[in-house]
Amino acid sequence: MKIINRELEWNFICNLKSNRKVSIRQGSYIPIADLDLANKQVRKVWLKEYGHVLVCKLVAKNGDITYLASSDLNLTDYDDFTDHFENRWKIEEFHRGLKQTTGIEKCSSIKSTSQQTHIFSAFTAFIKLETRRLKEQVSWYEHKKL
């Protein structure tokens, strides 16, 4: 995470396990689950072995709690914070669909041009599959069976 944020100057947003250590004051660590974090509150804390991050608690309808952390210290609004996390999840779904429906990871080529052609072909196939899937209102997996 340090490389992503500090060297590449990118921000991250991720889940934290409930036992991940955080601190209001550097040096005095507690599990994030023990942090006094109100519902829909975003709070700046010190993440052990990383540095300052913003954290919030996402409570699902069934009561499950997910703790989120972001290196973007401008995400102080809870709704913006959770929207960023939901967008991240959409990207994960895209990658899963791409891998499971096109075989993008099954390239055995050694030459970079062959690998690039394979990746381009997989993306092209996925775009066609996605366009048709949206027209027919079916899932990737239902469409793959057609």
Q: Are 129 and 140 in contact (CB under 8 A)?
A: yes
Task: Give the sign of the dihedral formed by CA 123, CA 125, CA 128, CA 132.
Answer: negative
Q: Where are the domains of the chain?
A: 2-82, 103-146
pLDDT tens-digit profile, the chain (146 residues): 556 666 767 888 889 999 999 998 767 899 999 998 988 999 999 998 888 899 999 888 998 999 999 999 999 999 999 898 888 888 888 898 899 888 898 888 889 999 999 999 999 999 988 888 889 888 877 766 66
Q: How many Å apart are CA 141 and CA 143, to the nearest integer?
A: 5
Q: How many Å apart are CA 138 and CA 52, to the nearest integer?
A: 43
Please indicate, yes or no, whether the overall pTM of this predicted structure exceeds 0.75.
no
3-state helix, strand, coil in the chain (%, to 5): 45, 20, 35
